[in-house]
Amino acid sequence: MKNILVLCTGNSCRSQIAEGYLRYFAGDKATIYSAGIETHGVNPKAIEIMKRDGIDISGHTSNNVDEYADIAFDYVITVCDNAKENCPYFPTKAIKLHQNFPDPAKATGTDEQIMEQFREVREMIRQYARNFVNENLKD
């Protein structure tokens, strides 16, 4: 079983969405964690956009990366440039991967336009998570 950490700035949107999809696609092949350099709480719009795709992340919590210092991660995936630049050193053999996704929390416009931006980012993350599992968690 692999240990995977998804790291973002605030652990409120992108890393939460990625955690949800990685858990969904990986099943029992991995234990998935997400954290932030800071904690901003799980964004209600992230919960809603995942619910629309049938994945419940309402029970997720916003965690600081320091909480996981003692876990031997196999992969650390940063999902924003800020997290990549400020990612703490993990004394593990973790393979570090990076994919910068737009921050849907910064979306502007009407409620409908904002949710459309959340949906677009969700779809990018879903594809990334599916590909990651297919490429890195083969039987």
List 66, 70, 111, 139, catalytic entry: 111
Q: Where are the alpha helices (DSSP H) in 2-101?
A: 14-26, 44-51, 81-86
Work out the number of other CB atoms within 10 angstroms of the CB of residue 110: 8
Beta strands in the chain (DSSP E): 2-8, 30-36, 75-78, 95-98
Active site residue 14: yes
List 8, 13, 80, 103, catalytic entry: 8
CB 87 within 8 A of CB 76: yes
List 14, 23, 122, 126, catalytic entry: 14
The side-by-side arrangement of strands in the sheet containing 75-78 is 30-36, 2-8, 75-78, 95-98
List residues with catalytic annotation: 8, 14, 111
